[in-house]
Chains A and B, each alone.
Chain A
Amino acid sequence: MTADKEKRRAISREAARRRRRVESDVFGDLSRLLPLQPSVRTHLDKPSVIRLALSYIRIHKVLKGNAGTKAEASHTVKHGQGMESGEERREYGGGRGEKEKETEDLEASEETDMYLRTLEGFLMVLSTEGDMIFLSDNVCKYMGLTQTELMGHNIFEFTHPCDHEEIRNNLRLSAGEVWCGGKRDFVMRIKSALTHRGRSANLKSATWKVLHCQGRAKVCVAPSSVSCLLLTCQTLPLSHTLLSTHTFTSQHSMDMRFTYCEQRVTLLLGYSPEELLGRSIYGLCHTLDTSCLTKNHLNLCFKSQSVSGQYRMLVKGGGYVWVESHSAVIPGGRPRPGAHQPLCILCVTYVLSGVEEPFLQLSLDQTAHRYWS
């Protein structure tokens, strides 16, 4: 009996081995069809192969949903007649020389590289469930992880849990957005495996990196296509940017009261820095912009960086200017033993317009100067 059992076991083991070999072969075939560097390809495990194959298929679906028919002529794109991107796509088809195609591709490649580099960001295509269908390959510069390692995974695995709700809200496509792609603009924290020197490290020591995501929702109604979110994700560097005369920097305590302001503000808004100390920014701005400022403030409190969008700051004596503030929370001062490190908010405010309605006094403070200037 035992001999029989042994024999059967041997047969089944052999069969299993054969099955596994066949399976491995098919996986190998699949992986060779993926556009990967050979060195990357050999290191992929089976689930990764499927994950990347899925991404490949999905991104092509997204693009197909974009396109017209394959017979779309290319000349319409060349003249950039401002058509909707649905018609802008052109398919590679027969009839065009290889060389010409290559040159165009090369140009496109350079332009895209330049674009992403200038923007200091990477491209992310998200499915409505949050799967990162596609990432441009410069993502490793920002996250320390390569395109291959990340594509196909879900964004919720890589972002700060406290930001998940907001991300989910952004992934939702409303009925109205089906016809005019909804715009998206939000800040989130993502894992970054980069060391301070810019090297890729193990995710064990990953930190959170703040990204400003902007883009739009893309809804494809065709049955073969998918809906997704197209986003450019940028970091928000504040330093080493040449500031123009129409900007001023300021510092605030965490409740957004001024603790410091650059002298330049006098030229732009009329207040002296001393007048601003201790004042809350909420009192200095147009009431209609309260929600914009609140959102900015909360972004700062929880994500440490924010871009405010455009709002109005009241000018001393009357009128207002449109501004936009880029802010970040930075630790200030030496940490004292036992106490937490004090934080403050650093703002760079760009003035976008001239003084509008200079004779209109909207707030009580603007009238006050009559009495004590």
Chain B
Amino acid sequence: MSARNSTAGGADRAGGEQAEDVLVEDNHCSSMSLPSPMTPSSVAGMSLSMEMTRKRKGSMDNQDTKSASIPDADMEDDQNGTDGEDQHVKIKCFREPHSQIEKRRRDKMNTLIDKLSAMIPTCNPMSRKLDKLTVLRMAVQHLKSLKGSGGSFSEASYKPSFLPDEELKHLVLKAADGFLFVVGCDRGKIVFVSESVTKILNYSRAELIGQSLFDYIHPKDMGKVKEQLSASELYPRERLIDAKTGLQVQADLPVGAARLCSGARRSFFCRMKYNKISVKVEKEFQASTSKKKESQKYCTVHCTGYMRSWPTSHLGEEGEGEADKQDSSHFSCLVAVGRVHSHSSPQVNGEVQVKPTVFITRYAMDGKFTFVDQRATTILGYLPQELLGTSCYEYFHQDDLPHLADRHRKVLRCKEKIETSCYKFKTKHGSFVTLQSQWFSFVNPWTKDVEYIVSTNTVISHDHSQTSRSGNKSEQSSNSKTSEEDGKKSLPIIPGIVAMPGNMIYAGSIGTQIANELLDFNRMNSSPSSGNVSPFSLPQDKCPQTHNQISNNVPNGEATDMEIPGKSSSEDEPQGAAFSGGESLMEENSQLDLDSVVGPGLSGLSNDEAAMAVIMSLLETDTNLGEAVDFEEMHWSL
């Protein structure tokens, strides 16, 4: 059987001998290696190896890689590196799983044939499974019919391609959400713009061609765009990044020459006008007069491209206007693609019609405000700077202190989002608003240090009078008898907090004590030596909260409430694409960190080892900075 199979293998090629590269089939994170095609020492050996390579190349199926990898692994180990050595050993290895190779080859072919028959309309109605030859014949018919309906495959005109170029263009533009444009360097005249600009800026091609690009750029960005286009002496410094060192360099070339040399890359962002008026009502459009800033909308466009220089003799009418000013033989321009980023946060022009009900704050570990979102002002009455640096406990209602302190403790110890119950927060005017918050400790993805606590605060109801109770969800603290704000009654007893004289001081110290608790706890429980110290942590830090290292191994002192995560309030959440198994940061479960991405194994490693693992993975990646990076020559001047 084997003899026949090998000749069958030899005859099985559709064309002549092949010299294609072997494609790698490897599911491991480690570096890839596969033998290059062997120099044949026997027909059997050759055809078998060819079998294997062809199989890999031609008919890889996702499902099959697992089964394929097992027998192959043996071969790979044996064949690593050397060509031609140990042919005997290789042949022996081939012979053993040969029937498996054959089976796989047949299965692959069958799968392909099945896929093919599923795609061909004439095959589908057949109830019984068609044989290979019939499917192939029907495929031929089908392709003929496809070609007939209008492909531009006439080999006579230009090179055949899988898609007529018009179709390709549409696909590209659809995928890219961008438009191509060519502007002259001298005056920014739009020489060419693709049709897709209509979808993006809502101006028609006709409106734009021949106009100056500067008419469509935000006034504050004009300087930026001019700089990218021009060779003016106003911007004598060439700033480029050197791929080898990552540092900026001054180009040695004379001013102007480098900038305009063909092929020099450009990449910049600018705000471009967006036409709100329907394109059909063209007479309303006036390029220079409609510059009322209130009504003019802009969108941020990322332009990437390169400089190009054409001899004016090759140009039609577009070049003439420029030819007078320019060097008589060349017309310089920028060829670029403009794209609007899908996830760009809409720039709100301060038109907040509805009173906001959510605002975000950041706390240091001890509960002091380090960031207050401007929406807080409408709700709380304070400007952010009035709150910054003060402790949140100074504003919490007495009755709520116990449960909030408890939540504070919890949030510092666990990675999950913690929901508070409703609580009252003192506004500037002395009244209270009822809030409900979601807290979580934001942890640096690399070091796992807590950077700060993020609090998403939702207003439950406004301006409660001093005597009203909290909302339905609030816990009834056993200590709270009255909610009179000004009564200096006996202070509620919060477990673990030492009462100190004075209401305000007491309130402020709650947070500090909770934070200190954690420090002590960690000191007692921290794992030895390099475990907790990040390779990059600096001893002196401007943000006090980051002195603490929260080890992942610290067991929770209290049972952690797995609260139902609240709604996400971030408007800027990226849509659609989740990231490596972890959801976006504002959702439940794990914070994005090394653990959830790389796997649970990493959390058991010390930071050094974790760093090593990541580094190994990074070094395999060819960071495409645009040029070859020679690691040996790299020097660092920091």
- Within B143-178, the residues touching A (CB, 8 Å) are 143-144, 146-147, 149-153, 157-178
B1-54 at interface with A (beta carbon < 8 Å): 8, 11-25, 27-29, 32-36, 54
| Contact A182 B576, beta carbon cutoff 8 Å | yes
- A30 to B142: give the CA distance in the assembly, Å: 10
For A365, the chain B residues whose CB sits under 8 A away are: 370, 542
Distance between Cα atoms of A80 and B302 in the complex (Å):
22
Q: Which of B121, B361, B362, B580 has the most CB of A within 10 A?
A: B580
Contact stretch, chosen from B95-103, B111-119, B427-435, B548-556 = B111-119
Chain A residues whose CB sits within 8 angstroms of the CB of B584 once the complex forms: 291, 295
B534: which A residues are within 8 A, CB to CB?
Answer: 255
Given contacts A82-B279, A153-B60, contact A27 B542 (CB under 8 A): no
Q: Is the CB of A33 within 8 A of B144?
A: yes
Contact A310 B195 (CB under 8 A): no
Contact mask for chain B residues 584-622; partner A; CB cutoff 8 A; 1 contact, 0 none: 111000001010011000000000000110110111111
Contact between A310 and B341 (Cβ–Cβ < 8 Å)? yes
A177 touches B576 (CB 8 A): yes
Assess the A298–B579 pair: CB atoms within 8 A. yes
A33–B471 Cα distance when bound, in Å, is 73
* Chain A residues, CB < 8 A from B586: 291
Asked if B210 lies at the interface with its beta carbon under 8 angstroms from chain A, I say no
Asked if A333 lies at the interface with its beta carbon under 8 angstroms from chain B, I say yes
A230-B175, A288-B373, A302-B614 known; A330 and B246 CB under 8 Å?
yes
Kindly state the interface size class of chain A when it binds its partner: 35 or more
From known contacts A136-B172, A256-B446, infer whether A235 and B624 are also in contact, taking CB-CB under 8 Å: yes
Which one, B342-350, B395-403, B416-424, is touching chain A? B342-350
Q: Encode A103-115 as 1/0 by CB contact (under 8 A) with B.
A: 0111011011011
Considering the chains assembled together, what is the distance between the CA atoms of A161 and B26 in angstroms?
A: 9
* Contact, CB under 8 Å: A105 / B259: no
Chain A binder among B237-245, B286-294, B312-320, B557-565: B237-245
Number of B interface residues at 8 Å Cβ cutoff, please give it.
207
A287 contacts B239, CB within 8 Å?
Answer: no
Residues of A within 8 A of B28 (CB): 161
Q: Within residues 437 to 453 of chain B, which ones have a CB less than 8 A from any CB in chain A?
A: 442, 444-447, 449, 451-452
A165-190 interface code vs B (CB 8 A; 1 in, 0 out):
11001100010010000111110010
In the complex, which residue of chain A has the Cβ closest to the Cβ of B368? A364
CA–CA, A130 and B538, complex, Å: 44
Contacts of B264 in A (CB 8 A): 240, 242
Residues in B whose Cβ lies below 8 Å from that of A125? 171
Nearest Cβ distance between residue A24 and chain B, in whole angstroms? 7
Asked if B235 and A42 make an inter-chain contact with CB atoms under 8 angstroms apart, the answer reads no
Q: Enumerate chain B residues within 8 angstroms of A61, measured Cβ to Cβ.
A: 119
Q: Does A118 contact B (CB under 8 A)?
A: yes
Q: How many A-B residue pairs have CB under 8 A?
A: 571
Nearest-CB residue, chain B, relative to A151: B162
B45 CB, nearest partner CB in chain A, Å? 18
For residue B274, CB closer than 8 A to chain A, the reply is no
| Contacting residue for B625 out of A93, A253, A328, CB 8 A | A328
Check B384–A43 contact: CB distance below 8 A: no
Inter-chain CA distance A289–B344, complex, in Å, is 11
CB neighbours (8 Å) of B246 from chain A are 251, 330, 332, 344, 346
**Selected contact of B446 from candidates A54, A254, A304, CB within 8 Å:** A254
- A269 interfacial contact with B, CB 8 Å: no
Label chain A's interface by main secondary structure: mixed
Flag if A162 contacts B617 (CB, 8 Å).
yes
Across the interface, which residues of A come within 8 angstroms of B33, CB to CB?
204
Q: A169-B577, A206-B24 are in contact. Are A238 and B171 (CB under 8 A)?
A: no
Contact between chains at A279 and B542 (CB < 8 Å): yes
- Are the C-beta atoms of B18 and A43 separated by less than 8 Å? yes
In the bound complex, residues from chain A placing their C-beta under 8 Å from that of B16 are 42-43
> Shortest CB–CB separation between residue B153 and chain A, in angstroms?
5
A166-B578, A206-B24, A241-B240 known; A111+B570 contact, CB < 8 A: no
Provide the bound-state CA to CA distance between A15 and B446, in Å: 67
B388 at the interface (CB under 8 A from A): yes
For the complex, what is the distance from the CA of A104 to the CA of B343, rounded to whole Å?
34
Q: Does A71 contact B (CB under 8 A)?
A: no
From A77, A105, A238, A244, B224 is in contact (CB under 8 Å) with A244
Mark each residue of chain B from 236 to 275: 1 if its CB lies under 8 Å from any CB of chain A, else 0. Answer: 0011111100111000000000010000111111010000
Q: Does A72 belong to the interface (CB within 8 Å)?
A: no
Q: Which of A137, A182, A279, A330 is in CB contact (< 8 Å) with B161?
A: A137
Contact A278 B269 (CB under 8 A): no
Question: Which among A19, A31, A156 is the interface contact of B15 at CB below 8 angstroms?
Answer: A31
Interface bits A317-344 vs B (CB < 8 Å: 1, else 0): 0000010100011111111000011011
Answer whether residue A149 sits at the interface, using C-beta atoms and an 8 A cutoff: yes
Tell yes or no: B572 within 8 A of A by CB: yes
In the assembled complex, B109 has its CB within 8 A of some CB on chain A = yes
Q: A242-B239, A295-B579 given as contacts; is B109 within 8 A of A30 (CB)?
A: no
A7 at the interface (CB under 8 A from B): no
Q: Which of B337, B598, B619 meets A118, CB within 8 Å?
A: B337
Shortest beta-carbon distance from A84 to chain B in Å = 9
B504 at the interface (CB under 8 A from A): no
Residue of B nearest to A326 (CB): B267
Q: Specify which chain A residues have a CB less than 8 angstroms from the CB of B619 in the assembled complex.
A: 331, 341
Q: Is A221 an interface residue (CB 8 A)?
A: no
Residues of A within 8 Å of B227, CB to CB, are: 244-245
In contact, B139 and A53 (Cβ under 8 angstroms): yes
B132 within 8 A of A: yes
CA distance A115 to B619 in the complex (A): 31
> Is A272's beta carbon under 8 Å from chain B?
no
B492 interface residue (CB < 8 Å to A)? no
| Residues from 373 to 403 in B contacting A, C-beta threshold 8 Å | 373-374, 383-385, 388-389
* Interface check A14, CB cutoff 8 A: no
Smallest CB–CB gap between B376 and chain A, Å? Answer: 10
Complex CA gap A240/B238 in Å reads: 10
Tell me whether B211 is interfacial, beta carbon within 8 Å: no
**Which residues of the partner chain B approach A165 to less than 8 Å between Cβ atoms?**
580-581
Residues in A with CB closer than 8 Å to B62 are: 129-130, 154, 156-157
Contact, CB under 8 Å: B133 / A116: no
Known: A54-B112, A174-B576, A182-B575. Is A209-B624 also a contact (CB below 8 A)?
yes
- Minimal Cβ-Cβ distance residue in B for A264: B239
* Residues A364 and B171 in contact in the complex (CB < 8 Å), given A45-B12, A255-B537, A298-B445: no
Complex contact A240–B170 (CB within 8 A):
no
Query: In the complex the two chains form, is A231's CB within 8 Å of B175's CB?
Result: yes
In the bound complex, how far is the Cα of B116 from the Cα of A161, in angstroms?
28
When distances are taken between beta carbons in the complex, the residues of chain A under 8 Å from B594 are: 301
- Residues of chain A lying within 8 A (CB to CB) of residue B638: 251, 259-260, 332
Interchain CB contact under 8 A, B163 and A59: yes
Q: Is B57 within 8 A of A242, CB to CB?
A: no
Q: In the bound complex, do residue B136 and residue A363 qualify as a contact, i.e. CB atoms below 8 Å apart?
A: no
Q: A255 contacts B166, CB within 8 Å?
A: no
B140 part of interface (Cβ distance < 8 Å): yes
With A43-B16, A85-B170, A241-B241 known as contacts, the answer to whether A207 contacts B620 (CB < 8 A) is yes
Q: How far is the CB of A228 from chain B (nearest CB, A)?
A: 10
A334 to B632, CA, bound (A): 7
**Alpha-carbon separation in the docked complex, A363 to B371 (Å):** 4
Q: In the docked arrangement, what's the CA distance between A206 and B612, Å?
A: 22
A–B Cβ pairs within 8 angstroms, 21 of them: A47-B54, A48-B14, A92-B152, A112-B172, A118-B304, A118-B305, A130-B62, A134-B162, A145-B23, A202-B21, A243-B240, A279-B542, A297-B446, A301-B614, A302-B597, A310-B341, A324-B302, A333-B634, A340-B615, A350-B269, A363-B372
Given contacts A79-B204, A361-B383, A363-B372, 19 further A-B contacts (CB under 8 A): A22-B133, A30-B139, A45-B14, A45-B15, A46-B14, A54-B116, A92-B150, A105-B152, A111-B169, A123-B171, A125-B171, A157-B23, A185-B342, A203-B22, A216-B174, A232-B175, A241-B626, A245-B224, A287-B361
In the A-B complex, the 9 residue pairs with the closest CB atoms:
A47-B58, A47-B59, A237-B626, A291-B585, A35-B160, A92-B150, A230-B175, A109-B165, A42-B15
